[in-house]
Amino acid sequence: MKVTKLIKPFAALVLALSAISSSAGIYVSGSTVYENSSPFVMRGVNVAHAWYNDKTANSLSDIAKTGANSLRVVLASGKLWSRTPESQVVSIISQAKANKLITVLEVHDTTGYGEQTAATLNEAVDYWISIKNSLIGQEDYVIINIGNEPFGNGQSASAWTDGHKNAISRLRAAGFKHALMVDAANWGQDWQNIMRDNAASVLASDPQKNVIFSVHMYEVYGSASTINSYMASFKNNGLALVVGEFAADHFGSNVDEGAIMSYAKQYNYG
């Protein structure tokens, strides 16, 4: 989405063990994922560390007190906002572990690429590789969300698909064995169903088959039927889905947050 708040709710998929991805700590198997060999239903919050890094420590503590088990942290690669230094990433992971929270890390500079000036997925991968020494070995605790909403509107399906295949290939070649999270096109809302229709191909391209797909449910998802149809498609195709962001309304339009939570529970998507 184009408007970023300090903290935004997000629902995530029940995270199941995959023999294919046995080298990582968080595994995708079909539409399910396991953490520490047990089903893991993510309940957490988005934290805008890149802009409010002085508030992150208190935010993590407060999030843990709510009973959450995860958080998604905004980082910056230096394209649009000041680069988040590796030392801060190390600190975030350490604090999250101390609070018993699984950390989803995302590069925010990719937001809306193609429709507005933003970082490419390749530039996001460059950032991940530049801090890989602090990420490799943290597979039990960290999911890498390659780039936030990395394609705006009006972008081709092949751009989204090939861009993510290339990003995944580069990360694996660099030694990353983490579960990877991929955001939908159309500012994350996937109203053209580009991610829905090409997710299986992206997953198949990953030698570890360890990819979680993330949709951001805002004004496109104002009706229960739309929400149900979208989630059911991923479930029926055996694909892991997470609602990475959602809200009660967006740009003055209603979002059916009740249906999002209800159907997420029905499909074990958290």
Residues recognised as catalytic: 149, 245
CA distance 76 to 83: 5
pLDDT at 16 over 80: no
**Which helix (H) or strand (E) covers residue 105, if one does?**
strand 102-107
Provide the Cα torsion 255, 59, 215, 3; round to 10°: 60
Token output for 222: 């104002």
> What domains, with CATH codes, occur in the chain?
7-266 (3.20.20.80)
Predicted local confidence at residue 144, as pLDDT: 99
| Sequence-ordered list of residues with C-beta below 8 angstroms from that of 244, at least 6 positions apart, any chain | 10, 12, 46, 72, 104, 145, 181, 183, 188, 214, 215, 216
| Residues 6+ away with beta carbon under 8 Å from 162 | none
Of the candidates 105, 109, 97, the one whose C-alpha atom is nearest the C-alpha of residue 141 is 97
Give the pLDDT band (50/70/90) at residue 210: very high
Q: Choose the weakest-confidence range: 29-38, 91-100, 155-164, 189-198.
A: 29-38
Kindly give, in sequence order, each residue whose CB lies less than 8 Å from that of residue 219, ignoring residues fewer than 6 positions away: 189, 249, 250, 251, 253, 254, 255
212-247 pLDDT per residue, tens:
999 999 999 999 999 999 999 999 999 999 999 888
